Amino acid sequence: EDGYDLWLRYRPLESVAKARYEPQIAGIVAPGDSPTIRAAVDELQRGYRGMFGGDLTQQGAELRDGAVLVVRAGSPLVQGLDLPFAKLGGEGYLLRSATVQGKRVTIIAGNRDIGALYGVFRFLKLLQAGQPIDKLDIADAPKLQVRVLNHWDNLDRHVERGYAGQSIWDWQKLPRFKDPRYTDYARANASIGINGTVLTNVNANADILRPDYLQKVKALADAFRPYGIKVYLTARFSAPIELGGLATADPLDPAVRAWWKAKIDEIYAVIPDFGGLLVKANSEGQPGPADYHRTHAEGANMLADALAPHRGILMWRAFVYAAENAEDRHKQAYTEFQPLDGRFRDNVLVQVKNGAIDFQPREPFHPLFGAMPRTPLMMEFQITKEYLGFATHLAYLGTMWEEVLEADTFRPARGTTVAKVIETPVDAGAATGMAGVANIGSDRNWSGSQFDQANWYAFGRFAWDPDAKAEAIARDWARMTWGGDPVVTDTVVRMMMGSREAVVDYMTPLGLTHQMATGHHYGPGPWVADLKRPEWNPVYYAQARPDGIGFDRTARGSDALSQYAPQVARNWGSLATVPDELLLWFHHLPWDHRMKSGRTLWDELVVRYDAGVDQVRRMQADWAGLRGKVDETRWAEVRDFLAIQLDEAIWWRDASVAYFQSIAKRPLPEGHKPPAHDLDHYKAITTPYAPGQGK
């Protein structure tokens, strides 16, 4: 095994389980004939072949006991049954054990074919997990409409922040050659409810909008369509200049508007169900409406208006911080976007990163959530682990996403979690959604490591249900990916559940952030102070000085806290109630500040760095115990990656302790070893050829 099959492995069931299931799965009845129903039947067959051996017989309208019905609402086969189609929406599904024509059957159905496909994946998951299927009564529907991956893939197949090889989009061979991998990609996404994919990097290249590239995009759209997946592209705001030869890209210029309208009409002529566009504007050097003194709303609405007749969506990113702006970077997106509340069209989704800075191992939730009640906001998570040790460090992100989604914004009132904010359409026609920056590449195992597949999986599950639980998701993934042995499942889940906190601890404990080395963001660089913009430097974030450490975001400092609801601001603003995890995010404190543990801040910091390293050791020990219980190839890969992670956790810990000790000038707490080398040693380490860098 090399991991290619992801969580859709469908390995042979044990004979007891097989014997139990067999009478309940005696054939398929799938009367509809559409590409999506065919995909559903294919998947059921594939699963059956893998788990039971042989093919399921396709049966006609004459039902037999044990038939599995794959149908749509309205099928004569399910008439007269009391089935909850009304609450399934366009993409939901139901699984129901029932008696039809006097026979015991299992119904898998949705209002549309895609629901039936999603239902088949759920059914296969039950079998993979050894769950009973004789009294099924499940109805499920996604809580968000737009559930998209964002590929930061360039046209030359370099993936920005990608750690799994090259882009899987082989532009040079498209449209003629459709790699079978495109279908497996679509299957994997459909199995977790992802219904869209942005093919190209947010740092966009206008060439993707050229007619020849649109034909390539169409080929991908054709491959994905049966699986309910729409394609989206990134739009470079200056494309009217670069492709259209216009002198300006001013969104209020009639020629510019006409150019975009024609371009968007052209896209829809090629791909009638095209999803829409994603734009990064006036951020990190990208062109945008501010170049013409226009607002983000003016820029977004121009594109939204051109997309609207085609029912297309415009995703507009709120990830902005400007070179000219001296304001705390935490505050800048809110300052720029919040006043625009209510000014965006209904088919615009403002795409907001989970935290205010940048996909760090831990951030408090972004203050825009809850603060723009008249604007559709979508969540943006980063699945690829740019700031959490690339593919080599084991870090399950489900716990991080759950933490953010469960956070209470108190806007307008207690109980309005971030999940509620993004789930609730701002008015009847408004869109909802979640985006995940993909970790997928051309590596055989798709994600660069076995365990990073779990992050792709978890993203889909949270996009379907933002109120989902990270542990339950980890358990499902572990069972499907590593087999049914409960010892394996429990161990894998335990490793996963502690893994992200370990990374936080050995990289950026107690609310520290952005301590990564320049450019690639892989190793430690807490001393870096030479980059041209202040907020690119780690020293900007830690504010470590002889008097103490941490970024003061209270009213005495940058007052970023004032961007949150008063209850949140009070909670995080007070030393009595702020959780240790966010302490230095919001407060600058003396090295001898007394922590809840009774230790000084300096001692606590060192204790946390070591706790992170120890947790990696525990993961190693856990994994060692699974030898022989999972296949050797994948086992050995994980073992080796954990060894890399331990080395690098120690590197992070030692480099950070050496640096902060040079400022704090205090001894290490009892029992904690000094760094192996002096500070200059760590400063001299360079990583010039790390993968995934921006270009």
**Residue 321 vs 446, nearer CB to ligand BDP:** 321
User: Minimum distance between the CB of residue 471 and ligand BDP, rounded to whole angstroms?
Assistant: 28
CA distance 8 to 50: 10
Among 89, 130, 557, 694, binds ligand BDP (CB under 6 A): 694
Q: How many residues bind ligand BDP (CB under 6 A)?
A: 11
CA distance 350 to 343: 11
Peptide bond into 412 cis (omega under 30): yes
Note if 443 is an active site residue.
no
Name the region of 580 (left: φ>0; alpha: ψ -120 to 50; beta: rest).
alpha
Among 113, 140, 160, 363, binds ligand BDP (CB under 6 A): 160
Among 224, 359, 506, 564, binds ligand BDP (CB under 6 A): 359
User: Minimum distance between the CB of residue 359 and ligand BDP, rounded to whole angstroms?
Assistant: 5
Among 358, 465, 501, 603, binds ligand BDP (CB under 6 A): 358
Peptide bond into 272 cis (omega under 30): no
Tokens of 71: 């149908």
Q: What is the dihedral of CA 561, 565, 566, 570, to 10 degrees?
A: -50
Among 143, 161, 331, 385, binds ligand BDP (CB under 6 A): 161
Identified catalytic residue from 284, 580, 581, 614 = 284
Among 230, 280, 296, 330, binds ligand BDP (CB under 6 A): 280
Question: Of residues 309-348, which lie at the interface with ligand BDP (CB under 6 A)?
Answer: 319
Give, in order, the Cα–Cα distances in Å from 195 to each of 149, 190, 221, 353. 9, 7, 12, 20
Identified catalytic residue from 5, 43, 386, 505 = 386
**Residue 158 vs 672, nearer CB to ligand BDP:** 158
CB under 8 Å to 85, separation ≥6 — which residues?
A: 73, 94, 109, 111
- The number of beta carbons lying within 10 Å of the beta carbon of residue 109 is 26
Note if 427 is an active site residue.
no
Question: Of residues 179-218, which lie at the interface with ligand BDP (CB under 6 A)?
Answer: 202-203
User: Minimum distance between the CB of residue 34 and ligand BDP, rounded to whole angstroms?
Assistant: 37
**Which DSSP symbol is given to 55?**
P
User: Minimum distance between the CB of residue 319 and ligand BDP, rounded to whole angstroms?
Assistant: 5
Residue among 408, 428, 429, 403 at smallest CA distance from 418:
408
Which amino acid is present at 448?
A: G
**Which DSSP symbol is given to 439?**
-
The answer to whether 522 contacts ligand BDP (rule: CB under 6 A) is: no
Pairing relationship of beta strands 230-234 and 93-100 according to DSSP bridges: unpaired
User: Minimum distance between the CB of residue 454 and ligand BDP, rounded to whole angstroms?
Assistant: 21
Note if 358 is an active site residue.
yes
Residue among 393, 659, 618 at smallest CA distance from 521:
393
User: Minimum distance between the CB of residue 150 and ligand BDP, rounded to whole angstroms?
Assistant: 9
User: Minimum distance between the CB of residue 131 and ligand BDP, rounded to whole angstroms?
Assistant: 39
Pairing relationship of beta strands 146-150 and 433-437 according to DSSP bridges: parallel
CB under 8 Å to 317, separation ≥6 — which residues?
A: 202, 278, 279, 280, 281, 283, 350, 351, 380
Q: Which residues in this chain contact ligand BDP in the complex, by CB under 6 A?
A: 160-161, 202-203, 280, 284, 319, 358-359, 386, 694
Residue numbers annotated as active site: 284, 358, 386
